[in-house]
Amino acid sequence: MDARTRIEQALGAAIADAEGPLCPPRLATAIRYAVFPGGARIRPQLVLAVAHACGDDVPAATDAAAASIELLHCASLVHDDLPCFDDAAIRRGKPSVHRAFGERLAVLAGDALIVLAFETLARGVATVPGRLAQLLLIVGRSVGMTDGIIAGQAWECEPRIVLADYHRAKTAALFAAATAAGAAAAGVDAEPWRGFGERLGEAYQIADDIRDVAATTEDLGKPIGQDQAHDRPSAARELGVHGALVRLEALVNDAVTSIPPCPGADDLRKLIRAEVLRLLPEELSQRVA
Amino acid sequence: MDARTRIEQALGAAIADAEGPLCPPRLATAIRYAVFPGGARIRPQLVLAVAHACGDDVPAATDAAAASIELLHCASLVHDDLPCFDDAAIRRGKPSVHRAFGERLAVLAGDALIVLAFETLARGVATVPGRLAQLLLIVGRSVGMTDGIIAGQAWECEPRIVLADYHRAKTAALFAAATAAGAAAAGVDAEPWRGFGERLGEAYQIADDIRDVAATTEDLGKPIGQDQAHDRPSAARELGVHGALVRLEALVNDAVTSIPPCPGADDLRKLIRAEVLRLLPEELSQRVA
């Protein structure tokens, strides 16, 4: 089974476990709408790629880790799009959850996805209980109030903001969790894998900033120019598109060099280089390649 | 140490674990504001009471279960008070979180409290990993999209609503989790304890409905008459105050009768009868006693 199919099945199973005749029907519909069809599923693919490189001895644990991280990512998109934050009308090429279902169901769908992420871990990792607490703490930290995506979003509510801290919390934290969780799900020491994910997260954020100024709304499935419109920190605004591309290449080199020794390290390096190019608008990715 | 002190310490420790120099300061302040000073802390007291009745052999696991359930309760209050739901100005005798910190930080504080609840379980139950998955599933279900408090709140967004299902999800679910989690934290089969919590949750909801029509704003720390104002289902509106009191007594009798055999069953029955009286406005509690 290819990685994408495996991820969609894991997400489908996680949601199916939580549905049932008692679940309020509009809430269930809003949750499926928030998760399917997905974007690039980059974070769960990273979980699978790292677990694969480390042996992937308990695939159910890997699937649960991948699904939980994607569910948390979807939750953050639903809440970030709310009127009090970005008030985004469009997400993944269709109306945002609050535009389609109302603000109340958007708040609740985001909440439910957070809860579901932890339930999914509890179910999927049950056969290897010794790995559960560590996976929970890895995943919890990636979204938490200290340096996770909630902290990242909360920096937008502070009078002063440091660009590096903001991006580390808002984006890199979930990537660091993806690589660490991939290792932990495979029973491997997770800590050495965090740096790889952090660098990839920073690289992804820069690619996102570049897309926001250099892609089209059609490519992106959401409006471009949002960083400027919301006066948000952005590497492309700060360094220019060329400067941001140079920084991106350096980070990707740094990331693949930092991959800890493991059976599948060579394949993982190749995969990462290929995937990064797919994050850029076509014209730019040809220039980098 | 008395139960109340133990709960405040467990909550303080859970939040202290998540704070630190990296946490955005306004978010940290909003989270403490949402949790302290607390209300009656009824749900975590129930966790402690059941664990105590069952032996409480790993107090750290009990504390974590109690704190996680109270954190989730606080999260639900913060999100329920949001402008798109109740738009409540006052909670626990002070401005609601969104009035004090703005809507964005209220959304994020609620999200962070949900995450923190699961992290707290992972940390506190780490020494007895065999109990962790079950506790996670008990706690997750109590707030989840199927029949937890998120489902309960989501029933308010459906065109048709069944009063019993609504109350079971919105209130009884967290009480059922409190009794089940108290047993599970003490290493005892949790399932037989759910019914006791469910009945207590229904009783609590009825007491709450009664308070909403028969107490004062000063007693309650929040405005009265909210069920009528929001046209919400309410036993006191449906049965009258006297009818609701009769129903309350029957439920409490039913609850204490359903306590599973355990070393501390007698003390637990006495505790529950005494605590229920404290939920009613003074004049009514004298009438019932």
Question: How far is B285 from chain A, CA to nearest CA, in Å?
Answer: 35
The residue among B202 and A190 whose pLDDT is bigger is: A190
- For residue A81, the model assigns a pLDDT of 97
pLDDT in tens, A251-267: 999 999 999 999 999 99
- Residues of chain A in contact with residue B31, where contact means CB-CB under 8 angstroms, are 145
Q: How many CB pairs under 8 A join A and B?
A: 191
Read off the pLDDT of residues B114-165 as tens digits, 9 standing for 90 and up: 999 999 999 999 999 999 999 999 999 999 998 899 999 999 899 888 777 7
Taking contacts as CB-CB distances below 8 angstroms, the residues of chain B near A138 are none
pLDDT for position B132: 96
Q: Which residues of A touch B118 (CB under 8 A)?
A: 118, 136, 140
pLDDT score, position B166: 83
Q: Which domain holds residue B44?
A: 3-288
Q: Which residue in chain A has the smallest CA separation from B18? A: A146
Task: Name the range with the highest mean pLDDT among A240-249, B66-75, B168-177, B210-219.
Answer: B66-75
Using CA atoms, how far apart are residues A30 and B150, in angstroms rounded to an integer? Answer: 13
Please give the residue of chain A at the shortest CA–CA distance from B87.
A104
Q: What is the spatial distance between Cα A92 and Cα A36, in angstroms, rounded to a whole number?
A: 10
Q: Report residue A289's pLDDT band, with 50, 70 and 90 as the boundaries.
A: low
Looking at residue B288, its pLDDT comes to 67
B284 versus A143: the higher-pLDDT residue is A143
Average pLDDT of span A34-39: 95
Average pLDDT for residues B42-64, to the nearest whole number? 97
Taking only residues 6 to 25 of chain A, the set having a beta carbon closer than 8 angstroms to any beta carbon of chain B reads 18-20, 22-25
Sign of CA dihedral A27, A29, A33, A36: positive
Please, what is the average pLDDT of chain B?
Answer: 92
Q: Kindly give the interhelix angle for A59-80 and A3-18, rounded to the nearest 10 degrees.
A: 70
| CA nearest to B158 within chain A | A26
Q: Is B102 left (phi over 0), alpha (psi -120 to 50) or beta?
A: left
Query: Across chain A, what does the average pLDDT equal?
Result: 92
Rounded CA separation A161/A170 (Å): 12
Mutation to test the B interface, candidates A105, A111, A120, A149, most B Cβ within 10 Å: A111
B60 close contact with A: CB closer than 8 A = no
- What tokens were used for A29? 């519909």
- Measured CA to CA, the distance from residue B157 to residue A97 in angstroms comes to 14
Q: Tally the domains of chain A.
A: 1
Q: CA B210, B214, B217 angle in degrees (round to 5)?
A: 110
Burial of B218 (C-beta count, 10 Å sphere; 0-12/13-18/19+): exposed
Question: Full-prediction pTM beyond 0.90?
Answer: yes
Nearest residue of B to residue A130 by CA position?
Answer: B129
Cβ-Cβ contacts under 8 Å for B272 (sequence gap 6 or more):
B49, B200, B252, B255, B256
What does the pLDDT read at residue A69?
Answer: 98
Please write the tens of the pLDDT for every residue from A104-151: 999 999 999 999 999 999 999 999 999 999 999 999 999 999 889 999
Distance between A281 CA and the closest CA of chain B, angstroms: 32
Q: Which run of H or E residues covers position B220? A: helix B217-220
CATH of the domain at A219: 1.10.600.10
Q: What is the pLDDT of residues A142-197, one digit of tens each?
A: 999 988 999 999 998 998 887 778 878 888 999 999 999 999 999 999 999 999 99
In terms of DSSP H, where are the helices of chain A? 3-18, 25-35, 42-53, 59-80, 97-101, 103-124, 129-143, 149-155, 163-167, 173-185, 194-214, 217-220, 226-229, 235-257, 265-278, 282-288
Q: Does the structure show a pLDDT above 80 at B217?
A: no
For residue B289, what pLDDT is reported? 65
